[in-house]
Structure formats: structure tokens, C-alpha cells
Structure 1
């Protein structure tokens, strides 16, 4: 993966052009971002209320009984669906769209794209059926979704020998293996293993955000503000990546603990702060599509430093991990799908719908979910519902404004 790619290459990811081709494919299936952004945002909006209702009031509805999750365990279903249902849909939609511009190879569209989306969607539905289903069915669908995505990325990248981006299909393939193992843990009713796997995947997502965010956030900022772009520093970037990778591995292997783990978390968090301080975040207050990216990215450093301050405190660790899950992953996904959708549908990126309330809501939700249960544990249920409501509002506002954009052809008549 090349951290020194030219900015013009990055910007082309948001503006797919081929004026000589007349597109006949239904608009929703013209590129991966369309169905996967729409699907990811939809389940983000609805699954959190379902989770909270089922967790706190399992007998309040004939639908949300114990059979609702049979044979799926609620504490497995919630993190699995937020990681492999919501977040992975956004990641796959972005990469399946971006790889067309990186490699100048045709992107996935039409029937092949429909197959990939059908695999993703069928897994989501199967895990919600109020009946005892064979777990291999959703496991097969989920694994197929990720491996087909990785295969398409690898095919395009290898065909043009663009080795700088080969890490992306490798990371998706690793995620496919982790997802399959999570189903095994569910089948064995081994929630301890599943919990460590969720932690590792959250840090996997943080690593992915650090890779991609380090490219696009400073570039988008410099382009909009008309300032010099902060150039990447290998001596600063790679220790951050290595630290996040070690933290992800340690979530499963448990090699480092105590003060050594606190040092790893704290140093990685401080390096993240130094890295981001070079990106002129303080100049972005008037641009929601910029400050949303900066503040979401900041949640990774805050979570790392916060967890370093609470060594050997599992309760605080679980809560602070939501700064990454809600703030960094949720916030970056919301900001990026808002920006990418505008660019890919031929619209002015900085003249789109008013999304400031949504961006603010997702960041407040992160703080409420991560910090308030530590400060006022007696009101944890209230904080969960408040954070969940803010989360659903944020993605609901995206769906309100952007669904039509995703389902209609580009304004300029070009394919994509």
C-alpha cells in the first residue's frame, strides 16, 4: 500500500468518468457504493433499536422473544452485525468502487454485483429469522460476500501489477477468516473467544481507517482550504500502523498485559495525535464534510489514550472501545458515504444536503456510549438508549437525504 500516492489518484476515487460508454445497468447496481452504502446505512439505522429492545425488553413483543435469536445469542449478534453487517458493507462498497479508478479496470456492476449484495443481505436476514436455522447458511453467505469482494479487488490489482494496493484484498480475506471463526465460536457457545475476536476486529477497522484516513483526510482538507497538504512521514505513520496491528493481535493472543499494554496503547495514541495534528483540523470548522472526518479520526487516539489510563479495568475497556466502534468507525463511515455518494453521482461535494446534525449526533453518541456508563453506571440503560437514538437519527438523516441519490443515475449522465 503506497502512502505516497499522488492526490489526483485519490480524488479520482470520488469521480468515476467514462463519457464514451452508455450505461444500461439499473442505477442501483452500477457500482458497489450504491447498494452497499444504502444497505449498510439502513441496517445501521434499524439494528441498534432492535438490539436495545431485545436486550432490555425481550418479552415485550411476540417477535422479540428468545426464539427471535435462536440459535443466535444476542451478545454475539450485536457486535457481529455492527462489524460484519454494517461496517463491512461500507468498506466493501468503498473498495469495490475505488479499485476501478486505481487500476482502470471495470468495476463490479450488474448481475455480479447483485450476487455479492445478495450474499451480504441474505446473511443479515438469516440471522434475524425467528426460527432455528443451520448456522452454516449465514456463515456461507457472509464468507462468500467477503471472499468475492477480496477476489474482485485482487483480480483488478494483480492484473495491472499495482502491488501498492494489494494489502486491501489481503485485509478483506483476513476479515473473512475472522468472520468464519466467529460463527464457529457461536456454534460452540464460546462467547469468551467471540468477545476477543470482536475486539480484534474493532482494531482491524481502526487500522483500516488509519491507512485510508491518512491518505484522504489531509488531502481533502488541503484541497478544500487551498493550503499545502501535509506530506506523510514514514517514521510517524508506520509505528502507528504497527501499534494498531499489535493491539489487534494482542486482543486474541493476550501476549502483552498490564503496564506493557498500557504503554503500547498510550504510545500508539500519542503518535496518532501527533500524526493528526499536522492535518490542519483547526481550520475546518466551517466545513461539515471535513470536521466530521477529523473528529471521527480523533476518536481512535482518544480511545487508545483512555484505555491506557485504565489498566486491568475490563469495564472501562469495554466502554472506551465504543469510542472506536461508534465514533471512529461509525463517524468515518457516515462522513465518507456522504462525501463519496455526492462525488460519484455527479453532485458538488460541498453543496450537498445539510448533514451537520447527523455528524454531530454520531460523535455525541460515541461520547455518551463510551464515557457516561463509566461516570454514571447507575444510569447505563438510559445512556444506551440515548446513544442508540442519536446513532439511528444520524443514519436515518443520511437515508432521508441520500437514498434517492443512490437509486438514480448520475446527474451528468455518465456511468457509475
Structure 2
């Protein structure tokens, strides 16, 4: 009888190979990397423009447009594709998506942004290479997700809503491609507006409509989820109305869409808010959601003041209440939740996530204030640097998790 002690099986080590074990690992890691890279460039450009501390040339297309494109079509969609490639099969009771289908999405989104930022720094071919890589990754993602709609037995309206938004996003990407080919600045304007009201906002609200009441129902005793489908339909209609008015520069009429959106989002926040004791990782979802009616209150005020005085007050303040306040805060809340749950860790907010979330609230206020103070560019630069400070510890933490095996030893 052999009594020689057998060595314990070695524990899998952290490695880049872990990224291929699940779509959220790959896409969230890429999204986190894109997040810091994009804002590092933008903060450097703002600082350079305001104080001329180091030379940074004005890129073509214009830096402000490029910032909008990168954030809306490369940074946030990396996270969105990661979430949807994970949840679509679960929503519809279908098999998980194989690795070979989501790897091209990640390569396109990461390589596309990297090349685009190199283009912004002076590498001539970067803009075009980055665009085609992003477009290829986007089409790969859409082609992977869309067939689920006709493979499922029932009808998952949240999935259809997300596919509609991603399809509009493809239209916005094509508009940006037209800009790179020499089309008029209107196409850059259209691409950015489609990215906000046709892509990012509908995807965020669709996911919130499906998941936020569900999470609250699982964590708060006696909570009654309220998520009628008409709510999502009305939201879509109002978003399309806002988008159409933006595209024809109907700023004096935006209140027609934005006041109802204010009422609708305030109702969502009120009806969904869980009363009673709740964990922090749930609270942050609804605190993030509270920025949505604030943003539409600012949009409405801006439009009404324009009607009354002809003054375009507040500038980009409403957009940044939406982007940093809602999109940024909800990103931290949702990605932290998915990361904790899918890595076998406790369902709670770690210190780095709390720091990021709280710091983002400060950054949002700074960016809103930047529109009404004399030294606008200095405040914008400070807010961009604040974004980097807020996100850096959180990105480092989740990045290590995606490179490591699950804490509970399970696959995935």
C-alpha cells in the first residue's frame, strides 16, 4: 500500500487566460481599461488646453467630439456588451455564449479605442483603424446577441429593447464613419446625440427596468416589484422625441419631451425605491437612479429658459448630470454587483467601490458647476482629473478579480 502523501492540487493562478472564461470577465476588463485610458487622454488634453503645460495638438475630428465618441461608442459599450453577452442566454433560457463568439467583440472594442487614442495623439492612421476595429467588434456583438430573439420560445421585451438600442448605436457609428470620410460636422453631432438618446440611455433604463426591482425584491422583505412594460415603451417614445428635436436643433421645444421624461423618471425612482433596511450594494443602484430625474429637470429648465430669453443656459450641465451622475454612478453600482456575484465574493460594496461611487457624486457636481463659473476650462480639467482619482482604485481592484479564479472555486 502506497502511503506517500499526494500533493494537493494546485490552485489556478491569476493570468490573462482567465479573461476568456466568461464574457463579463473579458468585456469588463476591457471596459475598465478603456475607462482609464479614455479619461487620461481627455484630462491631459483639458489640462494642456487650459494651462499649456505640455503640447497636445487639436485632433481631427475635434477633441470634444472625439471625447463624446470614445465614451459613448467604446468605453460604456464595452461594459454593456459584457453584461448583455452574459445575461441574454439567462433571460431567455438558452445555452451560454461560446468563447469564440465574444472574443472578437472584446478585441474590436479594445483595439478600436487604443488605435483611436493613438490617432488623437498624432498617429495618422489611428482614427481610421480604430473606427473599423470598433465597427467590426460592434457588428460581432450584435450578430451574436440578435439571433437569441428568434431562438427563444417566448418574447423577452427587455432583450428586444437592447437590440433596438444597439442597432441605433450601429447607425451612430456609421455617422461617425461618414465624418472620417469628410462628411459635414452634422454627422458628428448626429452620432453623439444618437449615442446618448438612442443607445446608452435606452440600454441603461432597460437594464434598470428589468433588474433594479428584481434585486430589491430579493433583498428587502415585503418589497413589491413594479415594472410594467408600458413604462419602457413610453420611455422609448420620449427618448426618440428628444433625439429628433435635438437633431433639428429644436432646443426651444425640448421641454415637450423633457418634462414628461422628468415626470416618468421621478415616478420610476419613487416607485422602485426600496423602503426599509437594505444593503449598501442595493442602495447605490437607486442613488444612481436619482440622477436621472435631476438630469431631465436640468434639460427642461434649459429648454424653457431658451424659449423665454433665447439664452442657452447651463451648456453641457444636463448632459453631464446624465453621463457622470447616472451613467457613471450606475456603472460602478452594477459592475460591482456583477463582479462580486460572479467571482464568488460576498454581495457587498468593497471600500474601493464606495470611494469611486462617492467621489463620482463630487465630480458630477464639479462638472455641472463648470458650466456656470468664469474659468470653465479649469473646472472641466479638475473634474476630469477627479474622474481618474475616483475610478483608479476601483479599476485596479476589479481588474485583479477578472484575472483571478473565482474565490469559491467554481468555473466561470
* Range into which the TM-score falls when normalised by the shorter chain: 0.7 to 0.9
Selected match of 1:95 from 84, 95, 98: 84
Selected match of 1:38 from 29, 35, 42: 29
Aligned counterparts of 1:170 and 1:199: Cα–Cα separation in 2: 16
Structure 1 match to 2:377 = 381
Aligned counterparts of 2:183 and 2:366: Cα–Cα separation in 1: 30
8 A Cα contact 1:38 1:403, kept in partner: yes
Q: How many residues align?
A: 384
Alpha-carbon distance, 1:162 to partner: 4.2
SS in 2 for 1:265: helix
8 A Cα contact 1:201 1:248, kept in partner: no
8 A Cα contact 1:288 1:359, kept in partner: no
Is residue 397 from structure 1 mapped to residue 389 from structure 2 by the alignment?
no
8 A Cα contact 2:175 2:190, kept in partner: no
Aligned counterparts of 1:241 and 1:220: Cα–Cα separation in 2: 23
Aligned counterparts of 2:349 and 2:313: Cα–Cα separation in 1: 43
SS in 2 for 1:41: helix
Structure 2 match to 1:321 = 319
Structure 2 match to 1:125 = 114
Is residue 406 from structure 1 mapped to residue 406 from structure 2 by the alignment?
no
Structure 1 match to 2:184 = 190
Selected match of 1:272 from 261, 265, 276: 265
Aligned counterparts of 1:143 and 1:28: Cα–Cα separation in 2: 22
Structure 2 match to 1:348 = 346
Structure 2 match to 1:337 = 335
Where in structure 1 are there 5+ consecutive unaligned residues?
1-24
Aligned counterparts of 1:246 and 1:351: Cα–Cα separation in 2: 37
Distance 1:146 1:75, change over 3 A: same
Structure 2 match to 1:167 = 161
Distance 1:394 1:100, change over 3 A: farther
Selected match of 2:222 from 216, 227, 233: 227
8 A Cα contact 2:295 2:319, kept in partner: yes
Provide Cα deviations, 1:307-359, integer angstroms capped at 9, x if missing partner.
11122344524221111111111111121111101111122212645522211
Alpha-carbon distance, 1:113 to partner: 2.7
SS in 2 for 1:404: helix
TM norm structure 2? 0.85
Structure 2 match to 1:5 = none
Aligned counterparts of 1:408 and 1:369: Cα–Cα separation in 2: 35
The higher relative CO (CA closer than 8 Å, separation ≥ 6) is in 1
Alpha-carbon distance, 1:84 to partner: 1.0
Selected match of 1:116 from 97, 105, 125: 105
SS in 2 for 1:413: coil
Aligned counterparts of 1:186 and 1:352: Cα–Cα separation in 2: 42
Q: Give me the CA root mean square deviation.
A: 2.5
Distance 1:234 1:375, change over 3 A: same
Structure 2 match to 1:216 = 211
8 A Cα contact 2:39 2:384, kept in partner: yes
Distance 1:184 1:237, change over 3 A: closer
Structure 1 match to 2:357 = 359
Aligned counterparts of 1:276 and 1:408: Cα–Cα separation in 2: 36
Selected match of 2:285 from 285, 289, 293: 293
Alpha-carbon distance, 1:133 to partner: 0.9
Larger Rg: 2
**Runs of 4+ with deviation above 6 angstroms:** none
Aligned counterparts of 2:128 and 2:371: Cα–Cα separation in 1: 38
Alpha-carbon distance, 1:42 to partner: 2.1
Where in structure 2 are there 5+ consecutive unaligned residues?
1-15
Structure 1 match to 2:4 = none
Selected match of 1:49 from 16, 34, 40: 40
Structure 1 match to 2:5 = none
Structure 2 match to 1:155 = 147
8 A Cα contact 2:360 2:390, kept in partner: yes
Distance 1:236 1:148, change over 3 A: closer
Selected match of 2:63 from 48, 71, 74: 74
Alpha-carbon distance, 1:201 to partner: 1.6
Aligned counterparts of 1:261 and 1:72: Cα–Cα separation in 2: 27
8 A Cα contact 2:86 2:96, kept in partner: yes
Selected match of 1:181 from 175, 179, 184: 175
Structure 2 match to 1:242 = 237
